[in-house]
Amino acid sequence: MIATVTFNPSLDYIVRVDDMRLGAINRTTYEQVLPGGKGVNVSIVLGNLGHKSRALGFVAGFTGDELCRRCSEAGVDADFIRVAEGMTRINVKVKSAEETELNGMGPKIAEKDVDVLLSKLDALGDGDTLVISGSVPSTLPHDLYERIMARLSGRGVRIVVDAERDLLTRVLPYRPFLVKPNNHELGDIFGVELRARGEVVPYARRLQEMGAANVLVSMAGEGGVLVDETGAVHQSPAARGTVVNSVGAGDSSVAGFLAGLMETGSYEDAFRMALAAGSASAFSDHLATRPEVEALLALAPSEIPPLGV
């Protein structure tokens, strides 16, 4: 079983505005509403790739109802916890000459709601996978990532963490199976700027020394790097294409990695599927589908440039 946790899922309202001007009436030329949240995205792409998962998190209000409806429409097995106060947030993403985002607050989550989530996670056991991703809302305990990992410690659950800075570094002593920072997030952890694939390798290894088994670093147009638990380094440039929407590309990479690993047992194949899934989402106005991922895998370069080039 694969479970994903999104503490603060959303409805994403994506609009395009030609020549947006502040302080004036702007009219949209395109609009779309999608279920949002990093774990939700992982569950959607896993489903698109033919693998079932269960999406956990917190919802509230009429927007929570709509999120559940849209998740069901997308084929996601959503087992969200309904909370009493507030509403599921709406995140507005405006595409114009520059991209602008307005992210909502989300509902108020009580300690009793957290207890319900933890009890649901207790169903996970040996061979199961848990994906925890995204920020922790201010109404939740700041150490919730660590509490979850400590609770599941010793049960044989493979835990994937996709989070920034302290959220990521604080869970490393619990030995997550996979962490997936992008190159900017990895650089922020160590106070450096990382641009080339070769530059990220020593810092990925440092995350391993701190406890991570596998480190997957996404790098947008530069491709990505995986340092796996055997110490092997896998790296590749990105597929060529026009970026339509970068939202969800990193989450798609996580889903692609898990799908590839389940299907082949090979870290190299899992890495290639991770990059293809991330690119497929970035090149589309929706999240990656199996045909799109397979098309990119078929076009993958047969010769990978030397590391760092």
Q: What is the DSSP string of 138-186?
A: TTS-TTHHHHHHHHHTTTT-EEEEE--HHHHHTTGGG--SEE--BHHHH
Tell me the average pLDDT across 50-69: 97
Tell me the average pLDDT across 13-41: 94
Domains and CATH numbers, the chain: 1-20+30-161 (3.40.1190.20), 177-304 (3.40.1190.20)
Question: Which two three-digit tokens encode residue 102?
Answer: 């307005």
Sign of the torsion formed by the C-alpha atoms of 268, 223, 71 and 3? positive
275 has a pLDDT exceeding 50: yes
Q: Where do we find the tokens 């709509």?
A: 66
pLDDT of residue 301: 53
Percentage, residues of the chain above pLDDT 90: 86
Tell me the average pLDDT across 152-167: 95
> How far is 299 from 239, CA to CA, in rounded Å?
8
> How far is 163 from 165, CA to CA, in rounded Å?
7
Q: For residue range 109-143, what is the model confidence (pLDDT) as tens digits?
A: 999 999 999 999 999 999 999 999 998 988 899 99
Tell me the average pLDDT across 193-205: 95
> How far is 84 from 145, CA to CA, in rounded Å?
23
The one catalytic residue in 228, 251, 269, 285 is 251
How far is Cα of residue 19 from the mean position of the Cα atoms in its chain?
30
Respond yes or no: is residue 251 known to be catalytic: yes
Percentage, residues of the chain above pLDDT 70: 97
> How far is 203 from 209, CA to CA, in rounded Å?
10
| 303 — pLDDT class (breaks 50, 70, 90) | very low
Q: Which residues of 129-155 are buried (b: 16+ CB within 10 A; e: fewer)?
A: bbbbbbebbebbeeebbeebbeebeee
Tell me the average pLDDT across 190-202: 95
pLDDT of residue 247: 81
* Phi, psi (degrees; rounded to nearest 5) at 215: -125, 115
pLDDT of residue 306: 43
Contacts of 72 (CB under 8 A, 6+ apart): 78
Sign of the torsion formed by the C-alpha atoms of 273, 279, 283 and 286? positive
| 299 — pLDDT class (breaks 50, 70, 90) | confident
pLDDT of residue 305: 42
> How far is 71 from 84, CA to CA, in rounded Å?
20
